[in-house]
Amino acid sequence: MAASRLPPAALNLKQFLQRQKVLGVYRDLLRSIRKIPQESDRTYLRDWAREEFKRNKSETNQDVIRMMITQANNHLEDLRKSLALAGC
């Protein structure tokens, strides 16, 4: 019925929401990295973030993805706290 009309690569609702979360975390991470004063640090962290996300791109297990989102959020919080302490 409805399922047969959708293309095979379509995500169900939970997967779709998770995908949006991942992209949101990536965007927030990039926005925080923008505030770092040193250009070399900025490039290094941007490359690191890109690497981390690309490496786990093909993961399909929802629980693993959830764990990785939590990890990314922790990294984001650390970065934000460091920036706040450094005063920028």
Partner 1 sequence: MASRALAQCVRSVARSSARLSHGNVLTRTACASLVSNQRSLCVVSCHQRTRCTELVRVSGPSLQLCRQYGDLPPLTLESIQDRVMYVLKLYDKISPEKLQTTSHFMKDLGLDSLDQVEIIMAMEDEFGFEIPDAEAEKLMTPAEIVQYIGDKKDVYE
Q: Which residues bind partner 1 (CB under 8 A)?
A: 19-20, 23-24, 26-27, 30-31, 34, 50, 53-54, 57
To the nearest whole angstrom, how small is the minimum distance from the Cβ of residue 80 to partner 1? 17
Length, in residues, of the chain: 88
To the nearest whole angstrom, how small is the minimum distance from the Cβ of residue 61 to partner 1? 19
To the nearest whole angstrom, how small is the minimum distance from the Cβ of residue 1 to partner 1? 28
Please enumerate in sequence order all residues whose Cβ is within 8 A of that of 77, keeping only pairs 6 or more positions apart, or say none: none
Report the alpha-carbon distance of residue 14 to residue 24 in Å, rounded.
15
Q: Are 36 and 83 in contact (CB under 8 A)?
A: yes
**By C-beta, is 3 or 7 nearer to partner 1?**
7
